[in-house]
Amino acid sequence: MTDPIQCPVLIPGTPLLEVKAIRQGYAGQEVVKGLSFNLAQGSIGCLLGPSGCGKTTVLRGIAGFEPVAGGEIVLNGQPVSRPGFMAPPERRRVGMVFQDYALFPHLSVGDNVAFGLQGWGRAERKLRVAELLEVVGLPDSGKRYPHELSGGQQQRVALARALAPCPMLLLLDEPFSSLDVELRERLGLEVRDILKQQNTTALLVTHDQHEAFAIADEIGVMDQGVLQQWDSAYNLYHRPANRFVADFIGDGVLVPGTVREDGRVETELGVLSGEIPVECKAGCPVDVLLRPDDVVHDDASPMQAEIAHKAFRGADILYTLRLPSGRRILSLVPSHHNHAYGELIGIRLAVDHVVAFRRDKARE
């Protein structure tokens, strides 16, 4: 292969995309309510949230398909969307991979990839198409047509097509949702490698946290048009900012407790120490987040719980345990500890870091 075509490299680390307090909506209904985040050059971001949370609207706002009613979107230092102003998509140098891929069925794979290369010389165009098909692992498919490819292959072509004109920012709208689970995970990792290799800044939208974890450097959890937390996957899981994030990311239960004088939290499972909400003083009612891996199986432990439910997961079993109080908690146990329904097993808490939320009066 000849030398690959170099896309202009922007300075890594500088903010490429700045979303500043944007508001968006349809027909009087606000779908996005003052959302802000930055994405640095070369990093991969993700908006994660349940369907209807407004994440796709944000993505389409950044692409230039939908206007903003408030706030501002800045791309590489240039404002591109403001109330009353919207730079058209074709002026933004933003690539997009659509949920349904939106490949052009009348064009061959090669022509699809070349579609955005208007104004390139014939030789350059040919080179770029070959290069990208190589990158996505379909070097010999240029002459085939989209309908002759499998779903995963179509996905790769869509990616190659979007990357071909060297976009500053690549947007991916639920890119793996039409693939089966196994392929989804594998392709996710592969796409991450490709994006990193091409030094592409990308923003992904998905409702699937595993997909987000596999691809993104930074993840924003959205609910009802509001960004709940923008953080790394590790922090979203271990230091969720609020109840919604705690509930949406990973498994776990909230167990009620009370803050003691010494700043530790007393629960029915024992006394725990960790971060307490700042506004909480002694006697303050809180909910403590217990992840399944915080509850450890220990035959020697005096604390006993009854097995209410079990889900075999291969390497381990996820038990739902009923405490004497009737409350249910989750516990992840290596799968050779195979117990029957109704059996009592010993458990112990192994919490490095307590996450507690103040309990509202209304919730009691």
Partner 1 sequence: MKEKPVSAGDDALPSSFIPHPSSLLFDGWRLAAVAIALLIVVPLTVVLSSLLSPEREEWGHLLEYVLPGLLANTFRLALGVGLGVTLLGVSLAWLTAACDFPGRRFFSWALLLPLAVPAYVTAFVYVALLDFTGPVQTWLREVAGGPVAVPPIRSAGGVIGVMSLALYPYVYLLARNAFLTQGCRALEAAQSLGYGRVAGFFKVALPMARPWIMGGLMLALMETLADFGTVAVFNYDTFTTAIYKTWFGLFSLQGASQLASVLILLVFALIAAEQLSRRRLRYTQAGRHSRADRIVLSGTAGWLSAAYAALVLAVGFVLPVWQLGVWTAQVAAQDFDARYLDFLWHSLLLGGLAAAITAAAALVLAYARRQRRDAFTQIATRVATLGYAVPGPVLAVGIVIPLAWFDRQLAFLAKDWLGMETGLLLQGTLLAMLPAYLTRFLAVGYNPVDSAMQRITRSVDEAARTFGVSGLAMLRRVHLPMLRGGLLSAAALVFVDVMKEMPITLMTRPFGWDTLAVRIFEMTSEGEWERAALPAVALVLAGLLPIALLVRQSERA
Min CB(107)–partner 1 separation in Å = 8
In the complex with partner 1, the residue whose CB is nearer, 113 or 347, is 113
In the complex with partner 1, the residue whose CB is nearer, 113 or 276, is 113
Min CB(205)–partner 1 separation in Å = 11
Are the CB atoms for 329 and 256 separated by under 8 Å? Answer: no
Min CB(242)–partner 1 separation in Å = 15
In the complex with partner 1, the residue whose CB is nearer, 31 or 48, is 31
In the complex with partner 1, the residue whose CB is nearer, 99 or 258, is 99
Min CB(152)–partner 1 separation in Å = 18
Burial class (CB in 10 A: 0-12, 13-18, 19+), 20: middle
In the complex with partner 1, the residue whose CB is nearer, 25 or 252, is 25
C-alpha count within 13 angstroms, C-beta hemisphere, residue 157: 30
Q: Which of 19, 90, 18, 92 is nearest to 54 (CA)?
A: 19
Min CB(115)–partner 1 separation in Å = 6
In the complex with partner 1, the residue whose CB is nearer, 114 or 349, is 114
In the complex with partner 1, the residue whose CB is nearer, 212 or 347, is 212
Phi, psi of 248 (to 5 degrees): -75, -35
Min CB(104)–partner 1 separation in Å = 6
In the complex with partner 1, the residue whose CB is nearer, 96 or 109, is 96
Structure tokens at 313: 């997961």
Task: List contacts with partner 1 (CB under 8 A).
Answer: 26-27, 31, 50-52, 54, 56-57, 60, 63, 65-67, 69, 84-86, 88-92, 94-96, 98-100, 102, 104-107, 115-116, 118, 161-162, 165, 167
Q: Which of 295, 1, 226 is nearest to 127 (CA)?
A: 1
CA 202/CA 191 separation, integer angstroms:
11
Min CB(95)–partner 1 separation in Å = 6
In the complex with partner 1, the residue whose CB is nearer, 52 or 334, is 52
